[in-house]
Chains A and B, each alone.
Chain A
């Protein structure tokens, strides 16, 4: 089961969700790992030509970035789990964008929307929809690179990040607000362990059936 499908199923199964209602669930697994998830459910539209479901690992929590993110003055950063958890609501409804060359953010080229976010262990996963008809080149690139291959990753965009100690070699972000995300080549992401993949429309149909 994919991340987004799992998120949406859980929302539906737990509380008899209503359309466009945000839900936040905390689950404790057998291993004692706490999972936090939040999603906005959209009305199901069968065969929507401009909605292509996606899912991805946006970042890792409590793990130092592999490279210094842009804006961090050369410091690698750690997004704490607490900060990420507190910032989950700010992710919902934010856009995903991409930049020509797939090497960064272009906040004005918004090609999709995030509708679900989940903290699962150290992974902050997101799911949502791409505007596939508006950006056909994007789907072609992602599918062309193998869809679930290792090529594509994700990058977050934060505002008002609070740094615990600016003199530290690795900055610890204790508070932040997500303002967006980008799809890009993994090698260009500050976190190399991010990932991105689109889901086949069939999966969306199955999810709709589950939700009903």
Chain B
């Protein structure tokens, strides 16, 4: 009986920690969205350079990549917004590519702690950080 109570307490603490982490992540996503909106408003003011020449293939490719990256960010934001506030307890397996990416940053998925993720991912771009965190959340490794 006592052991069961201890387990419940421990589980409760874990859930609280995960919920707090999820809250922080939501705030981060909101800040990113706000920053992106601010950037868009700034861009409205002025375009650095326009050349009245039909776009070359290379430029078109870059534009396509940019559009794809923007779509991915929007998708991640939507995914983060639709993430249930209650934390799932069932752990899933991280994709191999994600495990490798974390390993390159010196993070082992098995021993990962929520607080250490931010520090470990500082070398990655914002988009990569969002992708990693979203994946970790989906996998139940990060609240």
Which A residues form the contact surface with B (CB < 8 A)?
59, 65, 67-74, 77, 103-105, 155-163, 165-166, 173, 176, 179, 182, 184, 187-191
Query: Which of B14-22, B45-53, B117-125, B126-134 has 4 or more CB atoms under 8 Å from chain A?
Result: B45-53
Q: Which residues of A contact B55 (CB under 8 A)?
A: 67-70, 74
Distance, CA A174 to CA B49, complexed state (A): 14
Distance, CA A30 to CA B45, complexed state (A): 38
B5 at the interface (CB under 8 A from A): no
Measured CB to CB, the closest approach of chain A to B53, in angstroms, equals: 5
Q: Which residues of A contact B56 (CB under 8 A)?
A: 70, 103-104
Q: Which residues of B contact A188 (CB under 8 A)?
A: 53-54
CB <8 Å contact, A161 and B47:
yes
Distance, CA A188 to CA B51, complexed state (A): 11
Q: Which residue of B lies closest to A190 (CB)?
A: B52
CB <8 Å contact, B43 and A70:
no
Measured CB to CB, the closest approach of chain A to B37, in angstroms, equals: 13
Measured CB to CB, the closest approach of chain A to B25, in angstroms, equals: 29
CB <8 Å contact, B59 and A70:
yes
Instruction: Tally chain B residues at the interface, Cβ within 8 Å.
Output: 17
Q: Which positions 94-134 of chain B face chain A at CB distance < 8 Å?
A: none
Which B residues form the contact surface with A (CB < 8 A)?
40, 43-56, 59, 63
CB <8 Å contact, B50 and A69:
yes
CB <8 Å contact, A77 and B54:
no
CB <8 Å contact, A160 and B48:
yes
Measured CB to CB, the closest approach of chain A to B41, in angstroms, equals: 9
Can you report 6 residue pairs joining A to B where beta carbons are below 8 Å apart? A70-B53, A74-B63, A104-B51, A158-B51, A165-B44, A191-B52
Distance, CA A184 to CA B56, complexed state (A): 14
Distance, CA A158 to CA B52, complexed state (A): 8
Measured CB to CB, the closest approach of chain A to B106, in angstroms, equals: 38
CB <8 Å contact, B50 and A67:
no
Q: Which residue of A lies closest to B43 (CB)?
A: A166
Measured CB to CB, the closest approach of chain A to B51, in angstroms, equals: 4
